[in-house]
Structure 1
Amino acid sequence: MTEETPGAAAENPQPPELPAALLDPRPVIVAIACGWLLALVLAFTVESLHTWRPITIAGLGVGVLGTSIFLWQRHAVRRGSRGAQHGLT
């Protein structure tokens, strides 16, 4: 009753695998952290950008927190924890 028809595969094509370079989150994390660091340096060296100071400090803080969670989850995947996310290597 559940015979596969030749057209069934054509109706549900699978997307191709992404290249490994697009799956690596480290370049994105480094680029964004450098951007926040540059903004922080500018906020403390250029007097007219003094209003940026709390925002850049908060941005770096959230970035450190997010990166810490990512590294913690990746460590859990590598040690084989059952509750860890899948796909982090």
Structure 2
Amino acid sequence: MNQPRLPDLQPLRTNNSATILAGTGLWVVALVVLLIVRPGPDHQWWIWTCVSGICGGLFGLWFVRRLDRGKAPDEREPSPDTPSSAESTGPATATSPILPAPPVPPTAP
């Protein structure tokens, strides 16, 4: 049987820059901890793993921002100070908003 096709899902709007900055920040924290603790000679590669993670994060940040410059303003990732479209339009549900009850006419004593 042929069923009607459901509409295509829209991609999620994410803040890629914040995600990349958080990951890069974690690599920086790991590097600082390793520089304080000073791992043994067999584990010096841990430091270089953190350095390469930081470099990869900086490259990812540059790349994502470069991609965002090429997008139309309505396709760009939401900035933290402006509400996203989901917040401004409300939840995407089929329920109607709750309306207040109509006023009750006064009764005669």
- Indicate whether the TM-score tops 0.5: yes
Corresponding residue of 1:14: 7
Q: CA deviation at 1:67?
A: 1.0
Query: Quick one: higher RCO (CA 8 Å, sep 6+), 1 or 2?
Result: 2
What is the CA-CA distance between 1:59 and the residue it aligns to?
Answer: 1.0
Structure 1, unpaired ranges of 5+? 80-86
Letter in 1 for 2:7: Q
More helix by share: 1
2:57 aligns with 63
**Alpha-carbon RMSD:** 2.8
Q: TM-score, normalised by structure 2?
A: 0.51
Equivalent residue in structure 2 for 1:25, among 8, 13, 16: 16
- Specify the structure having the higher radius of gyration (Cα): 2
Shift, 1:75, TM fit: 1.1
Q: Any unmatched runs of 5+ in structure 2?
A: 78-109
**TM-score for the superposition, normalised by structure 1:** 0.60
Q: Percent identity?
A: 15
- Equivalent of 1:34 in 18, 21, 25: 25
